Structure 1
Amino acid sequence: MDSSFKKIAIENSDTIVQMWLKEISSLKDVNYTSTISNDLYQNASREFADVIFTSIRGQGSTDALEAFSEKIINLGWPLSYITDGLQVFRRVTTKFILSKHDQLDTEAFSEVLESVDHWVEPIIRQLVNDYTGNWENIVSLQRVALQELSAPLIPVMEGITIMPLIGTIDTERAKLIMENLLQGVIRYNSEVVLIDITGVPVVDTMVAHHLIQAAEAVRLIGAKCILVGIRPEIAQTIVNLGIDLSNFPTKSSLKKGFTAALEITNREIIDREPKEENIESLIKSIRGE
């Protein structure tokens, strides 16, 4: 009996798809797809219908379903588009097959519903699993990329590295800062690390505590931290909170911090442009004066 129901559905696929498209279009306002253009929505839905019938026919269903779920994720569409669409397909297909049935009794209804469920349930299961799996993978990759960008350690010259911090620092990010600092100091053989907090909007007790811990950890492995980018409002906050940064060298700007780092590493900036008095002395020596 199941094969006869499947034959009816496949032979009348165009009619079922038209009924299905009409119903799912009415769901745009409730499944978070209302902002999608009608043309894109219709094209994707027709592709969805092709995937469903490909699966029912048993023709390469796994690859088709996986590719479609990945496409929906790349478009940024919600999972509800898939689940709602399959529920509507179940309802429309059941209704159509029943309309072609000679006897409309409880037994016939049960047989049709069971058959349609038998086709649809595996599709729901795979699409949902593929969607969530791909989504989790994308989120994981984005999290790793964000972490790598959120606390970079940049070597600027031998022995001197800079860590520019931007945005709010929470406990999780503070752990990442600590790890990157320690690994970077060893990797780049740093003597001085400049932690630039110019882009950190708020420095409270917790943030200051994490920064002090990071500086202390760096000190224990033989390097030195200088905190730079101390804006006036940040300095006032630190004083009002009674935060002790006496063991943590600070500078108001990255330029001043870099100059201090050069001094620590026994370097200095030399102006290569000759000064006016040096030019006068050179002219006198040429003249023999």
Structure 2
Amino acid sequence: MNIEVANFLKEYKVDLLENWMAVMKKSGDELSLSLVSDDGFKHIGKEFIEVAISNKVDSESKYKQKVEHFTERVVRIGWELPFLMDGLNTLKALILRRMREDKEYTSEQTVELISEIDNWLNPMTSQIVESYSNNWGKVVSLQKVALQELSAPLIPVFEKISVMPLVGTIDTERARLIMENLLSGVVKHRSEVVLIDITGVPVVDTMVAHHIIQAADAVRLVGARCMLVGIRPEIAQTIVNLGISLNQVTTTSTLQKGIEKALEFTNRKIVPLKGDSD
């Protein structure tokens, strides 16, 4: 029966691909389908069928390599595991239906056929689940690292002066990351003045202000000075209404004014070039 299934898959793989694509487009997850073009979906579907055929035909190591490569591709695309499992179940149903159309099977033979199709594709199911978990874990780890690097960067703008632009909401986890990047960046860039720019922070409440004050205190402990810039009128009003004291932190309304003051702190200033008409 294994040989019968193998020969069928090889002979009808083109028809299987077309039928599989038609069923998946009709009943599959719309979000997953929208992630690729029609040509891209056909290419992935073809690879999917080829991987299914290669089970028990290729060596175990080569088969696993094919599954790993296929799974890595679909993870990068953004297909979720349930969509892949639906694809496998659809393929099983199509193989069974087509084989029964081509040949009459007794009830016992049909049960045996179902068992053989399962035996053929179940290893692929297990391998895809394992590979998907491994690849998804790698993607999540890389995304987390990238997000950490982008969420609170400390950028040197002048010698001894660095800026940390903040965008979006600040929760406890992000505040911890801000503190770590701030302290390590001060040491790395040998900053004497650090400007925390909150222009892109929509809300400054008691918790956010507390984290900023903590960051400023930590910066002073490593021998640098911390400034808070980008304080919009509505933010200033909120800080006053909440009774939050920023007496220990130098503040300015814009990043430009903050940089000018930071230059003063480091005994420098911006001057016009000679002959500048402005």
Q: Distance in 1 between matches of 2:125 and 2:226?
A: 55
When residues 100 and 18 of structure 1 are mapped into structure 2, their CA distance, relative to the original with a 3 A threshold, is closer
One-letter amino acid of the counterpart of residue 52, structure 2:
I
Mapped to 2, the partners of 1:105 and 1:54 lie a distance apart of 28
Conserved 8 A contact 2:17-2:45: no
Q: Provide the residue aligned with 1:115 in structure 2.
A: 116
- How far apart, in 2, do the equivalents of 1:9 and 1:266 lie? 81
Which whole-Å CA distance do the structure 1 matches of 2:157 and 2:201 have between them?
21
Q: TM-score, normalised by structure 2?
A: 0.87
Distance 1:273 1:37 in 2: 59
- Larger CA deviation: 93-102 vs 78-87: 93-102
- The alignment status of 1:6 with 2:7, answered yes or no, reads no
The answer to whether the 8 A contact 1:153-1:162 is kept is yes
**C-alpha distance in structure 2 between counterparts of 1:169 and 1:203, whole Å:** 9
CA RMSD of aligned residues (A): 2.5
Q: Which has the larger radius of gyration?
A: 1
Label 1:161 to 1:123 Cα distance change in 2 as closer, same or farther (>3 A): same
Identical positions, percent = 46
Equivalent position SS for 1:57: coil
Give, as a single letter, the amino acid of the residue that structure 2 aligns with 1:30.
Answer: G
Query: In 1, are the aligned partners of 2:229 and 2:258 still within 8 Å (CA)?
Result: yes
CA contact (8 A) 1:153 1:161 kept: yes
**How many residues end up aligned between the 2 structures?**
271
- Paired position in structure 2 for 1:215: 216
The equivalent residue for 1:30 is 28
Q: Structure 1 unaligned runs (5+)?
A: 277-289
Aligned to 1:281: none
Matching residue of 1:44: 44
Does the Cα contact within 8 Å between 1:165 and 1:199 map onto a contact in 2? yes
Deviations 1:72-95 (A, max 9, x none): 223333323321121122233344
Within 1, Cα distance between the matches of 2:102 and 2:191?
A: 79
Residues 31 and 78, structure 1, Cα contact 8 Å, conserved in 2: no
1:202-247 Cα deviation digits (max 9, x unpaired): 1111111110110011111221101011111111111111111111
Q: 1:255 to 1:42 in 2, by over 3 A?
A: closer
> 1:89-140, CA deviations, whole angstroms, 9 ceiling, x for partnerless residues?
223334455567776134x344323322222111011112212321221121
TM-score when scaled to structure 1? 0.84
Segments of 5+ residues of structure 2 without an aligned counterpart are: none
Which letter does structure 1 place at the counterpart of 2:201? V
